[in-house]
Amino acid sequence: MANRFIAGMDVSFLDEIEQAGGLFYENGIAENCLAIMKGNGVNAIRLRIWNDPPGGMCNLARTAAIAKRVKAQGMSLLLDFHYSDVWADPAHQTKPAAWQHLSFEELGEAVYSYTKGTLEALRAEGALPDMVQVGNEITPGMLWDEGKVDGELNTDSQWSKFASLVQQGIQAVRDTDTSIAVMIHIDRGGDNPSSRSFYDRFEQLGVEFDVIGLSYYPWWHGTLDQLRANLHDLALRYGKPILVVETAYPWTLDGEGKQFIVASEQQLHAGYPASPEGQEQFLADLIRLIKETPGGKGIGFYYWEPCWIPVKKEWSVGHANNWSNLTLFDFEGRKLQGLSLLVNA
């Protein structure tokens, strides 16, 4: 991927969507979702992995099945370790149930062995990832409370513990295959002070990684101008490639009785209506902005869950789909025009 812009998609729900009978259409014809994406310029796929999820999805076996299909399409694979049985994000970094009573030393060993074991299993399936995230949106740390650096635990000693856990994951990746790139992912796309504070800490603590990853959702993370300023500063400050590794934008606010995360005009970015055209323009401007990052350090993006269409009421994650107006397919699985623009990305 070094010489081409990454136009990526996180399709971690695809397995569950297909099992529920979800279909995807281009020009009125039902097609394999990954094939539609590849045909529209997508060249990379991101998959999350949970240790032992109660719903039975996004575990090693199910992730490996989708990863093999990604590789068969000739697309790059980014594997996103949450180090949890459930969502890991700035509000939740819950240790896997099997790790709850481990000592700190044992916890570090578990991170290493789980990371390496997962990668070796994927290698055996011919689906070794090209890039790995050690943690998901780890701005406040991970594996709480041992690796928490939020609130009262935002201390030098806690940062050292957090960094050592991350380094165990990084070492496991390096020991598996040195060609796999390592990303460190936080959620502060438009927040330069917080981004600098985090990556400065990791630099001071000697955490060696390859790629900076940022989430950018305008209703949470500021304007495109703020994202541009942050990308510019981080590129010059650290000299590392940068990915906007999560993003999305709504194509409608008409819920038809559905519950959405983005449900009001007040949540929209100025200048981009919640319409297929507005979504397409947002993506076009985002891509242009990333490519303008100094030194060519803006290497691409991943759109989060573009195919999570509402084919069932309850999902393995324990709640209804609140994302179906942020997809790149409509409620019936028909491709939206925003996906088509990636052909020229």
Contact criterion met (CB below 8 Å) for 83 and 50:
no
**10/308 Cα distance (integer angstroms):** 10
**286/96 Cα distance (integer angstroms):** 35
* Residues 6+ away with beta carbon under 8 Å from 325: 250, 251, 252, 253, 254, 255, 258, 260, 262, 274
Q: For this structure, is 146 an active site residue?
A: no
Q: Which of 16, 26, 137, 146 is catalytic?
A: 137
Q: What Rg, from alpha-carbon coordinates, does the chain have?
A: 19
* Alpha helix (H) residue ranges in 48-191: 60-72, 104-124, 156-176
Cα end-to-end span (Å), the chain:
14
Residue type, 198: F
Q: For this structure, is 137 an active site residue?
A: yes
Pairing of strands 24-26, 6-10: unpaired
Q: Which of 16, 26, 146, 246 is catalytic?
A: 246
Give the catalytic positions in this structure.
137, 246
